[in-house]
Amino acid sequence: MTTQQQPLVEEEGVALQQRAEKLDRQDPLAHYRDHFIGTDTPLSYLDGNSLGRPLKRMPGDIAAFIREGWGGRLIRAWDEEWLDLPQAIGDQLGRAVLGAAPGQTIIADSTTVVLYKLIRAALAAVADPDRNELVLDTENFPTDRYLVEGIALEEGLTLRWIEADPAAGVTADQVREATGPRTAVVLLSQIAYRSGHLADLPAITAAVHDAGALVVWDLCHSAGSVEIDLDGAGVDFAAGCTYKYLNGGPGSPAFAYVNQRHLASLNQPIWGWMGRKDAFEMAKGYEPAAGIRGFLSGTPAILGMLAIRGTLDLIEEASMAAIRAKSEKLTAFAVEIFDAWLAPLGAELATPRSPGERGSHITVDHPGFTKATVASLWDDDVIPDFRSPRGIRIGLSPLSTSFQEVLQGMAAIRDRLQD
């Protein structure tokens, strides 16, 4: 760096610092940061889209559950609360986050298992032998791709791949081109896990329906970070995890959404005792429970879903509209820092520039970025994640991330590039 460049860089740093301080002062959601463990430390957490921070209320909630529910009520708690908890939390999730009326959302299994159930249920609902194609995109999350490949092999179906731009995502026009009279089911992610591209969920859903097919949406990177209206868009099926923006904790169970119009004829493939119409009858033969409860299979992970309730309470208090507004400001500030500090060092933005076209993360590519780069950042308490082959993904959770935290973390990334 020349002596002529040095003052310019220092001036940019001062200006960005002042911007971060001003944005934090003006942030109407800033006080929600105090609800999360670890936000009072100097650590810069830029991976909230992989695993959200825990709430400070959780140790007390879990202790009360162990002492009063599990320890106090023991087996009686199944009848008193636990049997209803998957749907009760599902209804709150639908109300607060998904734009879903009651009775259509349930907490059940891992995302992979839930997606398998949904795709197979969607195929059963189509019930047309001429519709033998599954449509998905080349940039979808690995689990989604692997599942569809496996199901196609099981059922003798054809895969039709949409070649998605790695720096963007799937468009409604691409879906129209890929679907037709042979399409059975389309599986897409609302937010591309690498680029952060936000798909046009209503337009794509309409395009799939125009082709006479059904759509399954993966909401893992959108639930809790963008506004969603599943009922309004007429979505057929959706799934998502709860450990990212919903702060459910590592391995917390996923959710399933099934539109009301499909529930009466629902035929999900993994029959288990908890999905039977009377789980404790222990009778011969499987008769599915009515409604969304029929989507359960085995015993629900009650302890694993406790943390979700705390975040849903905060979301209902803050509103998804306000959360989305902050998400757009956070990513816009991250792009502003990228332009000032990282682009001049040869980095590329692998994310749409318009805030309305991306979720709550950005990805920065550079030939020098490796797993070792991220490991060195982690050692210094700056926590983004690496996305092969040369990307650092910066995930910004609106309720727990400050603008100063973004600046601090990206300054460390700049320093690695300068070195």
Tell me which residues are annotated as active site: 141, 218, 243-244, 393
Phi, psi angles (nearest 5°) of residue 302? -60, -50
Question: What's the rounded Cα separation, in Å, for the pair 272 and 127?
Answer: 23
Asked if 98 and 228 count as a contact pair (C-beta separation under 8 A), the reply is: yes
Alpha-helical segments (H) within 69-162: 76-80, 85-93, 111-126, 142-155
CA distances in angstroms from 67 to 58, 62, 73, 88, listed in the order given:
14, 8, 9, 22
Q: Is 296 left (phi over 0), alpha (psi -120 to 50) or beta?
A: beta
Would you list the DSSP string of 175-243? HHHH-STTEEEEEEESB-TTT-BB--HHHHHHHHHHTT-EEEEE-TTTBTTB---HHHHT--EEEE-SS
Tokens 């979808």 — which residue? 140
